[in-house]
Structure 1
Amino acid sequence: MPIIGYWLSNTFQKMGKNLYWFMLAEVDSKNNTCFRSRWYIDKRIVVLFTILMCPVILFCATYMLVFGIFPGISYPKALAKDVPEVNIHRALVYSMSPNTTANIVPHSNLHRDLSPHSFKIVCYYNFPGSKNSLQVENLQASLCTHISVAFASISNNSIYLEKSQIDTVQKLVNLKSLNKNLKILVSVGGAGNDGEFPKMVLNHANRKSFIRSVIEYVKEYNIDGVDLDWEFPNEDQEHDKMQKVHFTQLLSEFRKSIEHQPNHPFLLTVAVAAPDFIVQNSYDVSYMNEYVDFVNLMSYDYHYFTKETPFTGYNSPLYASENERYYLATLNINYSANYWNMMGMDRKKIVIGLPTYGHSFRLMNPKNNGLYAPASGYGKLGALGFVDYPVVCQFLNTNRVTPVFDMDTKSSYASKYYEWISFDNQQSLTYKAEYIRDNGFGGAMVYSLNSDDWKGACKQGEFPLVESVRKVLEAGKVDVEEKLVGR
């Protein structure tokens, strides 16, 4: 220690002398007098400067890393490219809070048939984009009972697929050689891709042309059905207030066409909204029940950041939380499914939607990070707030974050500093699949295969979310078969 003290003392004396000579050089430079200044080449000064600055540099680097100055480290985005950006329309419409005071969860016994039946697992599959996106070759033929490929469009009142999309459909149909019970459907429309529906349903001639084109696809490509995803009939009432009626007429005419060609039967399904105010505005539910094979209830996107809803919330809660009242108490799977049943849809025809993606929010205050915490925008994760499950896993692992599981709503969320994510995992989807099984609904619809962990990056196996749903409903199917044999 005395040696170090002596060295520091000597060094500071040296610095003082050199600074003195440097100042003299500056002062006498006006008199053209040149003094020799050596302060800047002294090695001991350089060493001392380095010793003093290292802690400062390390502190700054650590601070920037921890507080997310480098988003690529704390907020991975690389795997979120396949999130369909058109889904933002549905999420925004769901966030429109109507003037309602509903706070009673419907528990109707209408169509409450709990007799044994096989549960459907309807999986939406988005057409692949880049080579890194989910390809048909990566799919498992036994994972789902139905695969609905999305999305075909409407052109000149006819269903339309590009050649690359037709190639994908044909590959999907070939999966039936591995699973003879697998059904392949083509979904038409989708949020942001359904602009031709109003024109097509407007009159009988247009509807007939569309139905004829679907029948041609069924025959030519050996598909098993069509799924109509119009989001949503009667949304814009300024142009045509009769869209709700015209859509029901389309379904009726579809059913008649199916009955008139017994050699080429096909399934008719509809992707439908979950919030009750859209259901009332868009659908004649009791009539639909007569015409469709089943409906795919889009029971997700209940909470999403908008300027009108600047707070966190669960993407797809099973139940309302104990503090939710009025309209907020209706934004959950239990309310929506029972509401559809109460309005006249057979319970076995209600296939409940479960998401494999989550929603991210940017908190206004990191310390206020619970449910309904104030948010200022989308989170950094994903695209427009939509986050694939592998990205969620990477975020949790990178930041060593433990998710919070809400037993009231059977939903998960996680937060770190300003980032807040609502998502489903194996635990939450197991609860929801058990709900579907125990309440006698038709099955589960999963949106989508593309946003599940199909590469196994989460180290939970391939397609872990869909697999967790399948295990529960497959177990229910075994129970059904045993009951049928016992009769």
Structure 2
Amino acid sequence: MLIGFAALSLTALGSCTTLRKSASTAKDFKVVGYFTPGTAEPERLPLQYLTHINYSFAIPAPTGDTLLPLRQDETLKRLVAHAHRKQQTEVFISVGGWDIGDGGGEDGRFHRMAERPEGRHTFVKSVMHLVRKYTLDGVDLDWEYPDENHRSAEDYVLLVSELADSLHASGKKLTAAVVASGSKGYGTKKEALDKMDWVNLMAYDGDYGGDILKAHSPYSYAVQSINYWINERKLPASKALIGLPFYSKKGFGQFGPTYQQLIADGASAYDDYWKGAFYNGINTIEAKTRLARKMGLGGVMIWEIGLDTADDTSLLKAIDRAKR
């Protein structure tokens, strides 16, 4: 796999030459990690390698216009206390996700809320209440996905505008998770992107398209995602964070072991494939991080930081080396 990775990297990088920007500086380079309660103890997270943590998830109620009470909110309180005590890592709440209760991949709750002015207003009030209650630094909106040929694309703009104005007025930030590339991305219109502080490009799960060359998250998929959002969609490079997976996929759409589990079971930290599982090892993670720096991206995003190792095989440590 290392030989294949090297050849693919050279080919993919060649297709990215039109993106050449001034390199981002290590000081401004963001490392954003999603975190779900139960994967790690908050106090054990290596904050020295992270600029932001997105606590996942706050789930909209069935009506969409309010948020359900957080499960394990004591974990969020511990995380915020730990991060703010160190004064180096900001904590956001991620709202939504792939499965928000209406069945896998259904986003009906967002649709029902955003199509009504009163729904959007009530939703924003609910989000702002949560931000204040837990002393959060921002919100990551994870609506998967507003549709280009549906009124939800326009509703999304209205929702983002109201939410961004409320957050920014309070000194808070708004980000969003967006699809890696393709037709689903057009539902996130320029007017919405303009209101966001940055966006997290979910450049993984590429195997859902049935293309073995996109088995989960190869280097070429990161290049494709960057090309789509910066070249085609004209997103400023500084507002794009490329997504990195700390988990594997087996076959098409089937989740495999976490990176931590793979290493414990004997997989190499430097390969990208082991016993039917596609993953990102140290070489690929470092290459993608260097690409992000070279292209002037705002940084990298990770799903999910609790799945990393704590020794020299750590992918967070690899990101830290490569970003310098």
TM-score range relative to shorter protein: 0.7 to 0.9
How far is the alpha carbon of 1:391 from its aligned partner?
Answer: 2.3
CA offsets, 1:125-149, max 9 Å, x none? 0122xxxx42213212322100001
How far is the alpha carbon of 1:109 from its aligned partner?
Answer: 5.9
Q: 1:105 to 1:161 in 2, by over 3 A?
A: farther
Indicate conservation of the 8 Å contact 2:34/2:53, yes or no. Answer: yes
Q: Secondary structure, in 3 states, of the residue corresponding to 2:167? A: helix
Q: Distance in 2 between matches of 1:256 and 1:300?
A: 30
> Which among 103, 110, 126 is matched to residue 197 of structure 1?
110
Indicate conservation of the 8 Å contact 1:113/1:347, yes or no. Answer: no
Indicate conservation of the 8 Å contact 1:176/1:183, yes or no. Answer: yes
Indicate conservation of the 8 Å contact 1:313/1:422, yes or no. Answer: no
Q: Distance in 1 between matches of 2:19 and 2:265?
A: 43
The amino acid that maps onto 2:248 is G
Q: Secondary structure, in 3 states, of the residue corresponding to 1:158? A: coil
Question: How many residue pairs get matched?
Answer: 301
The amino acid that maps onto 1:249 is L
Aligned to 2:93: 186
Aligned to 1:249: 158
Aligned to 1:232: 145
Q: Distance in 2 between matches of 1:393 and 1:115?
A: 31
> Which among 183, 196, 218 is matched to residue 317 of structure 1?
218
Matched, 1:167 2:77: no
Equivalent positions of 1:337-356 (< 5 A) are 337-342=226-231, 343-356=233-246
Indicate conservation of the 8 Å contact 2:204/2:244, yes or no. Answer: yes
Indicate conservation of the 8 Å contact 1:289/1:344, yes or no. Answer: no
Q: Distance in 2 between matches of 1:177 and 1:109?
A: 36
> Which among 41, 45, 66 is matched to residue 158 of structure 1?
66
How far is the alpha carbon of 1:106 from its aligned partner?
Answer: 6.8
Indicate conservation of the 8 Å contact 2:179/2:185, yes or no. Answer: yes
CA offsets, 1:33-71, max 9 Å, x none? xxxxxxxxxxxxxxxxxxxxxxxxxxxxxxxxxxxxxxx
Q: Secondary structure, in 3 states, of the residue corresponding to 2:112? A: helix
Q: Secondary structure, in 3 states, of the residue corresponding to 1:160? A: coil
Indicate conservation of the 8 Å contact 1:359/1:421, yes or no. Answer: yes
CA offsets, 1:308-359, max 9 Å, x none? 838575321112xxxxxxxxxxxx1112112101212111000110001111
> Which among 148, 172, 177 is matched to residue 54 of structure 2?
148
How far is the alpha carbon of 1:227 from its aligned partner?
Answer: 0.6
Q: Distance in 1 between matches of 2:247 and 2:219?
A: 16
Give me the TM-score of the superposition, normalised by structure 1.
Answer: 0.57
How far is the alpha carbon of 1:179 from its aligned partner?
Answer: 2.2
Aligned to 2:266: 396
Equivalent positions of 1:374-413 (< 5 A) are 384-396=254-266, 412-413=272-273
Aligned to 1:469: 319
Aligned to 2:123: 210
> Which among 414, 423, 430 is matched to residue 286 of structure 2?
430
Q: Distance in 1 between matches of 2:286 and 2:213?
A: 23
How far is the alpha carbon of 1:118 from its aligned partner?
Answer: 0.4
How far is the alpha carbon of 1:247 from its aligned partner?
Answer: 0.6
> Which among 255, 272, 276 is matched to residue 182 of structure 2?
276
Q: Distance in 2 between matches of 1:122 and 1:388?
A: 18
> Which among 456, 460, 463 is matched to residue 312 of structure 2?
460
Q: Distance in 2 between matches of 1:424 and 1:136?
A: 24
The amino acid that maps onto 2:317 is E
Indicate conservation of the 8 Å contact 1:354/1:429, yes or no. Answer: yes
| Greater relative contact order (Cα < 8 A, sep 6+) | 2
Structure 2: 5+ residue runs without aligned partners?
1-13, 101-106
Q: 1:105 to 1:250 in 2, by over 3 A?
A: farther
Indicate conservation of the 8 Å contact 1:124/1:150, yes or no. Answer: yes
How far is the alpha carbon of 1:108 from its aligned partner?
Answer: 5.1
Q: 1:339 to 1:187 in 2, by over 3 A?
A: same
The amino acid that maps onto 1:391 is Q
How far is the alpha carbon of 1:289 from its aligned partner?
Answer: 2.9
How far is the alpha carbon of 1:414 from its aligned partner?
Answer: 2.9
Q: Distance in 2 between matches of 1:182 and 1:403?
A: 27
Aligned to 1:134: 40
CA offsets, 1:6-50, max 9 Å, x none? xxxxxxxxxxxxxxxxxxxxxxxxxxxxxxxxxxxxxxxxxxxxx
Q: 1:126 to 1:434 in 2, by over 3 A?
A: same
Q: 1:213 to 1:276 in 2, by over 3 A?
A: same
The amino acid that maps onto 1:283 is T
Indicate conservation of the 8 Å contact 1:123/1:446, yes or no. Answer: yes
Q: 1:271 to 1:177 in 2, by over 3 A?
A: closer
Equivalent positions of 1:257-296 (< 5 A) are 257-259=166-168, 261=169, 264-280=170-186, 282-284=187-189, 286-296=190-200
Structure of higher CA gyration radius: 1
Indicate conservation of the 8 Å contact 2:270/2:283, yes or no. Answer: no
Q: 1:172 to 1:165 in 2, by over 3 A?
A: same
C-alpha RMSD of matched pairs (Å): 2.6
Q: Secondary structure, in 3 states, of the residue corresponding to 2:58? A: strand
CA offsets, 1:148-177, max 9 Å, x none? 010110124123333x43212211110234
Equivalent positions of 1:317-336 (< 5 A) are 317-319=218-220, 332-336=221-225
Q: Distance in 2 between matches of 1:202 and 1:470?
A: 42
How far is the alpha carbon of 1:195 from its aligned partner?
Answer: 4.0
Q: Distance in 2 between matches of 1:216 and 1:403?
A: 42
> Which among 274, 280, 299 is matched to residue 414 of structure 1?
274
| Structure 1 ranges of 4+ moved more than 3 A | 104-110, 112-117, 310-313, 394-397, 402-405
